[in-house]
Amino acid sequence: MQQPAVDAAALEDLLRAAVAAPSIHNTQPWRFRLDLAHLTVEVGAAPGRALPLADSDGRAVHLSVGAAVFNLRTAVAHHGWRPVTRLLPEPDRPEVLAAVHLAGAPHAPGGDGNSNRKGNGYGNGRYDGRDLYESIWLRHSSRMPFTEQPVPQPVLDELVRAAESEQADLILPGRGESARLLAITADAERRNNGDPARRAETASWCAPGRHPDPGHGIPPAAMGVMDAGAQLPMRDFTGRLDGPPRPAACFERDPQLLLLSTRQDRPVDWLRAGQAMQKVLLVLTARELVASFLHQALEWHDLRWLLRDPHAGLCHPQVLLRIGYGPVGAVTPRRAPLETVNGAEHPQVGKVDHAGTYGPVLAPAGR
Same fold, 6-109+128-137+333-358 and 153-324: yes
How many residues in total does the chain contain?
A: 367
Are 233 and 186 a contacting pair, CB within 8 Å? yes
Residue 271 phi/psi, 5-degree rounding, is -65, -40
Question: How buried is 219 (Cβ within 10 angstroms: 0-12 exposed, 13-18 middle, 19+ buried)?
Answer: middle
Separation between Cα atoms, residue 206 and residue 203, nearest integer Å: 5
What Rg value do the Cα atoms of the chain yield, rounded? 20
At 75, give phi and psi (nearest 5°): -70, -40
pTM over 0.85: yes
Q: Mark out the alpha helices in 194-243 (DSSP H runs).
A: 196-206
Q: How far apart are CA 209 and CA 116, in angstroms?
A: 52
Output the DSSP codes for 162-194: HHHTTT-EEE---HHHHHHHHHHHHHHHHHHHT
- How far, in whole angstroms, is CA 89 from its chain's centroid? 20
- For 260, the enclosing helix (H) or strand (E) is strand 256-262
H or E element that contains 137: helix 133-138
Burial group, residue 155, by CB count within 10 angstroms (0-12, 13-18, 19+): middle
Task: Write out the chain's pLDDT in tens, 367 residues.
Answer: 455 667 888 899 999 999 999 999 999 999 999 998 899 999 999 988 999 999 999 999 999 999 999 999 999 999 999 999 999 999 999 999 999 999 987 765 654 433 333 333 333 334 454 579 999 999 999 999 999 999 999 999 999 999 999 999 999 999 999 999 999 999 999 999 999 999 999 988 886 555 556 677 888 888 889 989 888 999 988 765 555 677 899 999 999 999 999 999 999 999 999 999 999 999 999 999 999 999 999 999 999 999 998 777 789 999 999 999 999 988 888 888 878 887 543 333 333 332 333 333 233 322 2
φ, ψ for residue 24, nearest 5 deg: -60, 125
Fold classification of 6-109+128-137+333-358 (topology level): NADH Oxidase (3.40.109)
**CATH architecture under which domain 153-324 falls:** 3-Layer(aba) Sandwich (3.40)
Domains of the chain, residue spans? 6-109+128-137+333-358, 153-324
CA distance 76 to 86: 14
User: How is the chain split among helix, strand and coil, in percent rounded to 5?
Assistant: 35, 15, 50
